[in-house]
Chain A
Amino acid sequence: MKATTENIKAIIIEIVGESVELEDALPLAEQGVDSLDAVSIYLRIEETFGIKIPDEDLEQIGDIEAIVRYINERV
């Protein structure tokens, strides 16, 4: 399965629990996603797309566009 901004946003909204307007290129930390929700989001992404995200790669996937690129380079 390929990542899209839509399915990544769906994961984020499911975790954060709010229907928020997420911007694709703005860091998630600046859009109200705290550190614990971020960890949940990474886990859900790993489970959904069947990939592993090493800790050292987390700085590469700070926003939705970067997450989509990262996943699609690995699936």
Chain B
Amino acid sequence: MLGITEIATYLPSAKWSNYDRKDKFSLDDDFIENKIGVRALCVKEKSEKASDLCLHAFANLEKKGGVKREHVDCCIVVTQNPDFNIPHVSAIVHGKLGLSRACACFDISLGCSGYVYGLSSIISFMRENDLTNGLLFTADPYSDIIDTEDKNTALLFGDGATVTHISREAAWLPRKFSFGTSGADYKELLCDNGRLYMNGRAIFSFTATAVPGHIQALLADNNLTDADIDRYIFHQGSKYIVDTIRKRLGVSEDKVPFDMAEYGNTVSSSVPIILEKEMECGDNKMLIISGFGVGLSWGSAILEKNQYERSYHESNDGKH
């Protein structure tokens, strides 16, 4: 069965401190630390584009071993800030990595819900087309569109990228996906004339009301309860929204990782950044991942540890 074999992350080393800007926005340390939850934002080089961030993530994946470029037959990039309007970023990544001409490439235009949609999309596409080694990238450099004078967004969004290797040497398998959209509210989070606008109140209200019920329904539809779930990996919108969803779901704090303090809201990368870490915890057997935001859209999935996991490195050539 196709599933997640490995994940790698890239976070730029350059950072902007939120503490350095608190006076500008009349904020105190407690608000930054305990409400926003972001001390610093990772920021890419000005000249770098989404494809460059993808390449950095892939370099980190190669360091982990297991993936061979010549075997990659599917490459998807989740982004809404592409290098150019045309062509798709995945084609640019394909060229820069020297992937096979037989490789299928396309982009998915989604934001914070993008990893869940992307994961379902790549696995379905690969399964339907008998593909065996896929790369799902997330790379959405919001530093290119943030208004640094906008209190609503300037202290939240950081740059980052991830790549997920999909193959039959799966460490984790998706059990079920669930999605939703409220397109009537699209204006609450959009980029117009190259600048991001976010109605913070609307996004908070949407997230706080839609996501907990959506996750509860996903659990119930699959005959699961909180007791079956080891971790809930929520999109890291802010500490306040992660705490609010957790409280409304009624789950314990130790099951809900919060990880964005040193890098910010990395949009579609936020879930896989944490998933990479939680996959390595031997105690974790079943996870919920949930992304929500731009669209407005949301998506959640149940992931199970593959009980019949084989070491990727034990396979003869890594191509199965």
Contact = CB atoms under 8 A, between A and B. Distances in A.
A, B in one complex = yes
Given A34-B31, A36-B35, A55-B201, A43 B208 contact: yes
Contacts of B202: 55
A40 B31 contact: no
Interface in A8-55: 34-36, 39-40, 42-43, 46-47, 55
Contact of B199 (A40, A42, A55): A55
B200 interface: yes
Contact of B244 (A34, A40, A42, A46): A40
Contacts of A43: 204-205, 208-209
A33 to B, nearest CB: 12
Contacts of A36: 31, 35, 204, 240
Contacts of B209: 43, 47
A46 B206 CA distance: 13
A39 B31 contact: no
A48 B232 CA distance: 27
Contacts of A42: 201, 205
Contacts of A47: 209
A56 to B, nearest CB: 12
A35 B208 CA distance: 16
Interface residues of B, number: 12
B204 A39 contact: yes
A35 B240 CA distance: 11
A35 B155 CA distance: 14
Interface in B181-214: 199-202, 204-205, 208-209
A17 to B, nearest CB: 11
Contacts of A39: 200-201, 204-205
A43 B204 CA distance: 9
A3 to B, nearest CB: 19
Nearest to B203: A39
Nearest to B200: A39
A40 B204 CA distance: 8
A70 B142 CA distance: 38
B105 to A, nearest CB: 40
A47 B26 CA distance: 30
Nearest to B30: A34
Contacts of B200: 35, 39
A43 B201 CA distance: 9
Contacts of B199: 55
Interface in B15-49: 31, 35
Nearest to A34: B31
Contacts of A35: 200
Nearest to B208: A43
A34 to B, nearest CB: 6
Nearest to A15: B244
Point out which of A40, A46, A47 has the most chain B C-beta atoms below 10 A from its C-beta: A40
Given A40-B244, A55-B199, A34 B35 contact: yes
Nearest to A42: B201
Interface of B: 31, 35, 199-202, 204-205, 208-209, 240, 244
Given A36-B31, A40-B204, A42-B205, 11 more contacts: A34-B35, A35-B200, A36-B240, A39-B200, A39-B205, A43-B204, A43-B208, A43-B209, A46-B205, A47-B209, A55-B202
* CB-based closest 9 A-B pairs: A39-B201, A36-B240, A43-B205, A36-B35, A39-B204, A34-B31, A43-B208, A34-B35, A55-B201
5 contacts: A35-B200, A36-B31, A36-B204, A40-B204, A40-B208
